């Protein structure tokens, strides 16, 4: 009970912080946040690699947390500040019977939420194999149907495999970008999936993309199948303002318009 009370108090403080800053602002460290994250480090270590479950507040999903998630993301999940921009865009945008392709699925809160909103099977693409059991477990907890595909999207059409740098401290920083590889371990060789093939095979009406900067150049051409809606996190800090602007321009040139924005996440519709 003391742990629950402490989490509920932190949740209230975090919600007040989110309300004050709004989803359009860059996340700034909450006061005493590093001490709170250190407390989650101790909590995860005390579980001896066992899992625990929470109810995610804004989606009402059951989410399993384990040591792979890491203390910072566990903290943000418990307090409702993980992927909240994408979640806010999905509400009242993704509809019943939409078909969703979720690329860069992570653990994957958005895949489970998309399955809940659509009552349909969701295709989740994730290159970090450590997260696949967690995606499947969270799908089971929420009676969601999710197919997990191993691989990554790259704008380099000539490569069949690429180097993927796994961040063992915080999985959301794992990417094709070597600069995010804090622990200097050698990269994994990951199968490259072509967006053209995924779109043609699964015919999504909604595409969700969170691929740590690999979104550049993806939309400088038209594919045989184009989804009606796209939710994309554009990684300004990786791409820089010019390349990030080019992603937006490419999508508008394909006939999309901005429906809504939350932070660095955009909802496009055509």
CB-CB contact of 235 with 209 (8 Å):
no
Is pLDDT larger for residue 62 or for residue 20?
Answer: 62
pTM (2 d.p.): 0.83
What's the mean pLDDT in 133-160? 86
Omega before 108 cis (within 30°)?
A: yes
Q: In what order do the strands lie in the sheet with 152-153?
A: 152-153, 188-193, 161-164
β-partners of residue 56 are: 61
| d(C-alpha 234, C-alpha 263), whole Å | 9
Residue 24 has pLDDT above 80, yes or no: no
Of 158-162, 176-180, 186-190, 231-235, where does mean pLDDT reach its minimum? Answer: 176-180
Tens digit of pLDDT for each residue in 63-115?
888 777 778 888 888 777 778 889 999 998 999 999 999 998 677 789 999 99
CATH architecture of residue range(s) 83-270: 3-Layer(aba) Sandwich (3.40)
Query: How far does CA 232 lie from the centroid of its chain?
Result: 10
Residues of the chain within CATH 3.40.50.150 domain(s) are 83-270
Give how far Cα 55 sits from Cα of 13, 59, 139, 230, 233, Å.
18, 8, 14, 27, 24
For residue 31, the model assigns a pLDDT of 59
| d(C-alpha 114, C-alpha 42), whole Å | 32
For residue 203, the model assigns a pLDDT of 97
CB-CB contact of 122 with 147 (8 Å):
yes
Q: Helix, strand or coil for residue 5?
A: helix
DSSP 119: S
Residue 23 has pLDDT above 50, yes or no: no
CB-CB contact of 202 with 101 (8 Å):
yes
DSSP 165: B
Burial (CB count within 10 angstroms: exposed 0-12, middle 13-18, buried 19+), residue 145:
exposed
For residue 189, the model assigns a pLDDT of 86
Tens digit of pLDDT for each residue in 201-225?
999 999 999 987 889 889 999 999 9
For residue 25, the model assigns a pLDDT of 47
């Amino acid at each position: 009970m003391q742990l629950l009370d402490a989490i509920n108090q932190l949740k209230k403080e975090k919600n007040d912080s989110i309300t004050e800053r709004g989803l359009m602002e860059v996340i700034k460290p909450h006061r005493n946040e590093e001490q709170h994250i250190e407390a989650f480090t101790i909590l995860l270590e005390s579980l001896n690699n066992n899992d625990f479950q929470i109810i995610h507040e804004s989606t009402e999903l059951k989410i399993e947390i384990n040591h792979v998630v890491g203390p910072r993301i566990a903290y943000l999940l418990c307090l409702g500040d993980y992927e909240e921009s994408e979640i806010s865009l999905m509400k009242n945008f993704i509809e019943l019977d939409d078909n969703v392709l979720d690329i860069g699925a992570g653990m994957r809160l958005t895949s489970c939420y998309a399955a809940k909103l659509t009552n349909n099977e969701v295709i989740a693409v994730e290159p970090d194999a450590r997260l696949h059991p967690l995606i499947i477990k969270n799908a089971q907890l929420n009676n969601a149907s999710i197919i997990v595909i191993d691989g990554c999207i790259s704008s380099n059409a000539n490569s069949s495999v690429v180097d993927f740098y796994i961040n063992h401290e915080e999985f959301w920083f794992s990417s094709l970008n070597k600069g995010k590889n804090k622990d200097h371990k050698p990269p994994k060789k990951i199968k490259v999936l072509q967006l053209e093939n995924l779109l043609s095979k699964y015919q999504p009406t909604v595409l969700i993309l969170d691929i740590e900067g690999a979104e550049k150049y993806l939309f400088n051409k038209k594919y045989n199948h184009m989804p009606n809606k796209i939710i994309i996190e554009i990684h300004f800090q990786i791409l820089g303002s010019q390349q990030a602007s080019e992603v937006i321009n490419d999508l508008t040139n394909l006939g999309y318009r901005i429906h809504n924005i939350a932070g660095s996440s955009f909802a496009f519709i055509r």
